[in-house]
Homo-oligomer: A and B are copies of this chain.
Amino acid sequence: MSKIRIGVVGYGNLGKGTEYAIKQTEDTELAAVFTRRDPSTLKILTEGVPVYSVNEILDHKDEIDVLILCGGSATDLPKQTPELAKFFNTVDSFDTHAKIPQHFANVDAAAKEGGNVALISVGWDPGMFSLARLYGSCVLPEGKDYTFWGRGVSQGHSDAIRRIEGVLDARQYTVPVESAVESARSGQNPELTTRQKHTRECYVVAEEGADKARIEQEIKTMPNYFADYDTTVNFISQEELDRDHKGIPHGGFVIRSGHTGKNNETSQIIEYRLKLGSNPEFTSSILVAYARAAYRLNKEGVAGCKTVFDIAPAYLSPKTGDELRASML
C-alpha cells in the first residue's frame, strides 16, 4: 500500500512535531519540508527527505498528497491557507477564534476552485476542545459549558511581558483555579467570572538595575492580557528561567454540566481533560490524524473547507470500519 505523502510548510515547533508524529504512523510519510529560510541551512530529522524553498512549492505539486501548514495564525495562515488550498489538500491550525468564519470563507472558495479538501482550525483549542463542547451540547442540550486552560505556557502572554521596558525574558503560565473547576463539576451550573476561573503566573528576567516595581505594575495592569486576572510576578535569573521553565506544557478541561429527566432534576457531568507535556507536539499529532482524513475525503470526491465538526471520526484512523467496530466500539 502506498503511503500518504505529507508536505510540511514551516519548520518551527509545530513543523518538527509534525515530523515526529508522521514517524509514529505506518500509513503516512514525510515527502518534503518547505521553508522560507534558505533550504540549504535547514537540517531536518528524517534522512533523505528534501527541503525546498516555499517559493517553489508549486513545482512539487505532484509529490504531495496533503500539506500541513505549520505557520502562525496572526499573519502566515490567513494568507497561506487560501493560496495553497487552490493547489493542495491542506490542514492548518488557525486558532484566532473570532476570525474563523472569515478564514473559512476565504479557504472554502480556494479549495473548491482547486477541487481540494482544506481542513482549518485543527488542534486542541480550536480542535479537540471544540469537539468536546459540540458533543457535550448535543447530548446534554440543557446545560452549561466550562472551558479551563492550563496549567500551561501562553506564548502570547509571555511575548507581551517581554515587550515591557527592562524585561529580558519571561514565561507566563495560565493556571485554572481548582475551586472553580470543582464548582463547574458540582452540577450547580455556577456563573464564573474571568477572574474566578484562571490566575496568571509570571516568571520574569529583568535587566540589571531595572525598576522591578514598575515592571510588576505594568504587567498587572496590562489591558486584555492581565488586568482582568489575579496575577503573580516572580523575578528570577536567566539561568533559573532556562533551567526550570524551558518546557511547553499545557492542557485544560472542558466540562459540560447538564440536566436530564422529567423535570430536569438529574445532574449529568461530562469532562474532557488534557494534560500535555508539549503543546506543539500534541497539536502536530492531531494535524497528522486529520491529514489522513483530508486525503481520504478528497479521494471520495469531496472538495471545500472543513473543520473537525465535519469529519466522521472513522476517517482519522488507519483501521478499517470492520477493525474499528471489532476493537474499539
CB pair B260–A281 under 8 Å, yes or no, is yes
Task: Answer yes or no: A307 CB below 8 A from chain B CBs.
Answer: yes
Binding site for B on A (CB under 8 A): 16-17, 20-21, 24-25, 45, 97, 100-101, 104, 121, 126, 128, 130-131, 133-135, 137-142, 185, 187, 258, 260-262, 264, 266-278, 281-282, 284-286, 289, 307-314, 316-317, 321-322, 324-326, 328-329
- 6 smallest beta-carbon distances between A and B, as pairs: A138-B316, A266-B277, A260-B281, A309-B314, A269-B275, A271-B273
CB pair A313–B25 under 8 Å, yes or no, is no
Measured CA separation A131–B273 after assembly (Å): 14
Which residues on B sit within 8 Å (CB–CB) of A264?
24
Question: Closest Cβ of chain B: how far from A259's Cβ, in Å?
Answer: 8
CB pair B262–A278 under 8 Å, yes or no, is no
Measured CA separation A128–B268 after assembly (Å): 14
Which residues on B sit within 8 Å (CB–CB) of A128?
135, 139, 270
Contact of A131 among B25, B130, B313 (CB under 8 A): B313
Most chain B beta carbons < 10 A, residue from A137, A139, A264, A314: A139
CB pair A285–B134 under 8 Å, yes or no, is no
Measured CA separation A329–B124 after assembly (Å): 10
Most chain B beta carbons < 10 A, residue from A187, A264, A282: A282
Residue of B nearest to A138 (CB): B316
CB pair A310–B321 under 8 Å, yes or no, is yes
Most chain B beta carbons < 10 A, residue from A20, A278, A328: A328
Which residues on B sit within 8 Å (CB–CB) of A272?
270-273
What are some 18 contacts across the A-B interface (CB < 8 A)? A20-B262, A97-B329, A100-B329, A101-B322, A128-B139, A130-B328, A133-B328, A134-B313, A137-B317, A185-B275, A261-B281, A266-B277, A268-B278, A268-B282, A269-B274, A269-B276, A270-B274, A310-B313
Contact of A313 among B21, B45, B266, B308 (CB under 8 A): B308
13 further A-B contacts with Cβ under 8 Å, apart from A139-B316, A308-B313, are A20-B262, A24-B264, A101-B325, A128-B270, A130-B329, A134-B328, A138-B317, A268-B282, A272-B272, A273-B273, A309-B312, A309-B314, A310-B314
Which residues on B sit within 8 Å (CB–CB) of A278?
260-261, 266, 268
Which residues on B sit within 8 Å (CB–CB) of A326?
100-101
Which residues on B sit within 8 Å (CB–CB) of A311?
312-313
